[in-house]
Amino acid sequence: MKNLDEYLKEQSRLCREHDYITSDLFHEHNVNRGLRDKNGIGVLTGLTSISKIQAYKEYLGHKVPCKGKLFYRGYNIVDLVKGPIAEERYGFEEMAYLLIFGELPTEEELKEFQQVVGRMRGLPTNFVRDVIMKAPGKDIMNTMTKSVLTLSSYDPNASDTSIKNVLRQCLMLISVFPMLAVYGYHAYNHYERDSSMYIHRPNPDLSTAENLLRMLRPDMKYTELEAHVLDIALMLHMEHGGGNNSTFTTRVITSAGSDTYAVIAAALCALKGPKHGGANIKVVEMMQDLEETVKDITDKDKIRKYLEDIVDKKAFDEKGLIYGMGHAIYSVSDPRAEIFKGFVKKLAEAKGYDKVFAMYSAVEELAPQVIADKRKIYKGVSANVDFYSGLVYRMLDIPLELYTPIFAIARVVGWSAHRIEELINVDKIIRPSYLSVGEERIYKPIERRNVIELAGSDPSKYRLEEHFAHEEEE
């Protein structure tokens, strides 16, 4: 009897042998891997009016990469972020109203919406004790998924997919996501890391960003600046079209008729992947590893060498990826990374993080060159939204474990809008096709499976005759 490790090693070889499909076959059958062509343009699978991403422009009859632009319900994200900053108010709730209901709210509509969200920001009796505190773990995205699925048990109308009911469920989830994330972190911090635990209740009169900091900090204190920075980060992460991995997951599972809890739990599982929202944790870990490896973080040659080692799968997690770089759609730039960079610079200066900021800037400059040297680049690579977000959270003293959950606290709004749009417009299950490139084989009884066919005999003919004989008998 082999030990489990040996068994798994051998059996994995079988998986690789039988599952490997050569790149030529994808090419031959015109299959766009990852549902995208080489230019990064996705296979068209749906229509949406929730947001628009522009990464190409027409030039002399050709599509050429351009600076990225993002629109929520037709409004440029740059203007949407600038508005609340200029008017010194929090923008997350306003953007949520816009994304879900399709128009900017009036003052009264916004106030009413804020009250609804504030009122819904409560968990069922003993939910924190009975669910969140049980089996806590470092992976807060998994903790949140568990909590979302368990919330369905407390909802007598869990499987009702009418728009009114789904809207209620979505608004409730948007409201409680900060609690699921922060309390999940406190449970982990206490039970796994032996720190003190405190559970602060949210204040219904405060914004999502303020509540998040209030519940996170032991003394419930935060500065206006900190809450506004977090609010901007939330606004930038709320929505990104129907095709991003977690939103597409939302649409796929919605199309199967599943309930809101199942759909949002699945979207969380998609978002946490290190190639998607989980990249924000990876960026910070990679930068820490860079600092430790390179020592002198002002030496650009050493930084370049480190990045080359990453792409050659010799450094960091040996996956060959420089996290926070590259995007499925954007090429020249991601507008959100640019907005982030602007205020990260100011915050870094104010908080004494100048050197760290310079290191990020160096990676931002060098990584596209290194990737272009070592990979086949068709559309260009630049910093994405996950590149600077971790540095912002670090400067806000937010623990690493909460970086991807913060992304989820924002993106649950986009998922909700897409779930509702899918329910309103489409009643077809999403079911693309896969071409089978495997051969048909004739069943062989178990006692004959290790019989070696005689030299000179044609095993396929032999099996075929046997097959027909079997059919005749029937």
Catalytic residues: 327, 386
Q: Which long-range contacts (CB under 8 A, 24 or more apart) does 54-61 make?
A: 55/329, 55/330, 55/331, 55/332, 55/379
Q: Between 96 and 385, whose beta carbon lies closer to ligand OAA?
A: 385
- Kindly state the smallest distance separating residue 287's Cβ from ligand OAA, in Å: 20
C-beta closer to ligand ACO: residue 147 or 247: 247
Residue 120: how many CA atoms within 13 Å on its side-chain side?
A: 19
Q: Does 81 bind ligand OAA (CB under 6 A)?
A: no
Per the CB < 8 A criterion, the answer to whether 282 and 323 are in contact is: yes
Q: Mask of contacts with ligand OAA, 374-393, x by CB under 6 A? A: ----------xx--------
Q: Least separation, in Å, of the C-beta of 81 and ligand ACO?
A: 17
Q: Rounded to an integer, what distance in angstroms lies between the CA atom of residue 235 and that of residue 7?
A: 48
Minimum CB distance to ligand ACO, residue 368 (Å): 9
Beta bridge partners of 85: none
Q: Closer to ligand ACO at the Cβ: 227 or 328?
A: 328
Residue 271: CB minimum distance to ligand OAA, A: 8
**Binding site partner of 371, from ligand ACO, ligand OAA, none, Cβ cut-off 5-8 A by kind:** ligand ACO
The tally of CA atoms less than 13 A away on the side-chain side of residue 81 is: 23
For ligand OAA, the closer CB: 35 or 400: 35
Asked if 251 and 46 touch (Cβ cutoff 8 Å), the reply is: yes
Task: Please tell me the distance from the alpha carbon of residue 473 to that of residue 470, in angstroms, as a whole number.
Answer: 5
Residues 6 or more apart whose CB falls under 8 angstroms from that of 385 comprise 236, 237, 334, 336, 337, 340
Residue 76 phi, psi (nearest 5): -65, 135
* Contacting ligand OAA within 316-375 (CB under 6 A): 328-329
Strand-pair partners of 42: 36
Per DSSP bridges, beta strands 62-72 and 75-76 are antiparallel
Please report how close the Cβ of residue 56 comes to ligand OAA at its closest, in angstroms: 14
For residues 221 to 260, the per-residue mask of contacts with ligand OAA, x marking binding by CB under 6 A and - elsewhere, is -------------------xx--x----------------
Residue 311 binding result from ligand ACO, ligand OAA, none, given CB thresholds of 5 to 8 Å by partner type: ligand ACO
The least distance separating ligand OAA from the CB of residue 247, rounded to whole angstroms, comes to 7
- Position with the least CB separation from ligand ACO: 326
**Residues 6+ away with beta carbon under 8 Å from 341:** 364, 383, 388
Residues contacting 442, CB < 8 A, separation 6+ = 463, 464, 466, 467
Selection from ligand ACO, ligand OAA, none that 322 binds (CB < 5 to 8 A by kind) is: ligand ACO
Give the one entry of ligand OAA, ligand ACO, none that residue 376 binds, where binding means its C-beta sits below a cut-off of 5 to 8 angstroms depending on kind.
ligand ACO
Judged by beta carbon, residue 352 or residue 432, the one nearer ligand OAA is 432
Q: How many Å apart are CA 281 and CA 223, to the nearest integer?
A: 24
Q: What is the DSSP track for 178-230? A: HHHHHHHHHHHHHHTT------PPP-TTS-HHHHHHHHHSTT----HHHHHHH
Q: Binding residues for ligand ACO, per CB under 6 A?
A: 36, 40, 275-277, 279, 311, 320-328, 371, 375-377, 379, 381, 384-386
**CB-closest chain residue to ligand OAA:** 244
Q: Please, which residue, 227 or 325, has the CB nearer to ligand ACO?
A: 325
Residue for token pair 């919406």: 113
Q: What's the closest the beta carbon of residue 279 comes to ligand ACO, in angstroms? A: 4
For ligand OAA, give the closer residue by CB, 184 or 241: 241
What are the residues facing 345 on neighbouring strands? none
Of the candidates 254, 98, 262, the residue with the CA atom closest to the CA atom of residue 163: 254
Residues that bind ligand OAA (rule: CB under 6 A) add up to a total of 7
Q: Tell me how far apart the alpha carbons of residues 246 and 264 are, in angstroms, rounded to a whole number.
A: 9
What residues make contact with ligand OAA under the rule CB under 6 A? 240-241, 244, 328-329, 384-385
